[in-house]
Amino acid sequence: MNHNDIIICRCEDITLGEIREQIAQGKHTLEEIKRACRSGMGPCQGRTCAPLIINEIAKATGKPVSEIPLPTFRPSTSPIKMASLLGGDQHD
C-alpha cells in the first residue's frame, strides 16, 4: 500500500502525501500547513490530524514533538447551529 494515500485529515480529505508535500516546501508548523491545504479546518478542528501532522513535522525536521507548537484553539469547541445560539426552536 502506498502510505501517501492514507487520509490524515478526515474532515477535509487531506492525504499523508499532501502533508509531506507541504512540509517539503518548508512549511514546518501546523498553522502554515493548515492555511495551505485546509488540514484541521473541518468540523473536528484538527483533533484527529494535529498529532499525526506533528509527528510528520518532527520526522522531517528532526525536532522533538514537544518543540512543534500547537495551533491556536478557536471557538466553538464543537460545531453549533446558529439557531441554537439564538436560543429558539423557532429556527430549528
Partner 1 sequence: MIKSADIVVIGGGVIGCSTAYNLAKLGAGKVVVLEKNYLASGATGRCGAGMRMQWGTETNCLLSRESVKMLSHLPELLNVNVDIEFTQNGYLMPAYSEKMAEQFKKNLVLQNSLSIPARWVTPEESLEIVPFLNTKGMYGATYCAEDGHCNPFKVTEAYAQAARKLNVEIYTDTEVQGIVTKNGRIISVRTNQGEIQTDTVVNAAGGYAKTVGRMVGVELPIFPERHEILVTEPVEPTMGPMVMSFYHNLYCQQSPHGSFIMGIGHPNEPESYNIKSSWQFLRDMAERLVEILPPLAGLNIVRQWAGLYDMCPDRTPILGNSPSLNRFFTAAGFSGHGFMISPITGQLMAEMVIGKPTAFPIQMFDAGRFNRGELFVEPSVV
> Would you tell me which residues interact with partner 1 (CB under 8 A)?
29, 31-32, 35-36, 38, 41-43, 45, 72, 74-76, 79-83, 85-86, 91-92
Nearest distance in Å: CB 73, partner 1: 10
Sign of CA dihedral 34, 51, 58, 74: positive
Residues 6+ apart with CB under 8 A from 3: 16
Q: Assign residue 27 a region (left: φ > 0; alpha: ψ between -120 and 50; beta: otherwise).
A: beta
Question: Given the complex with partner 1, which of 12 and 56 has the nearer CB atom?
Answer: 12
**Smallest separation, CB 1 to partner 1 (Å):** 28
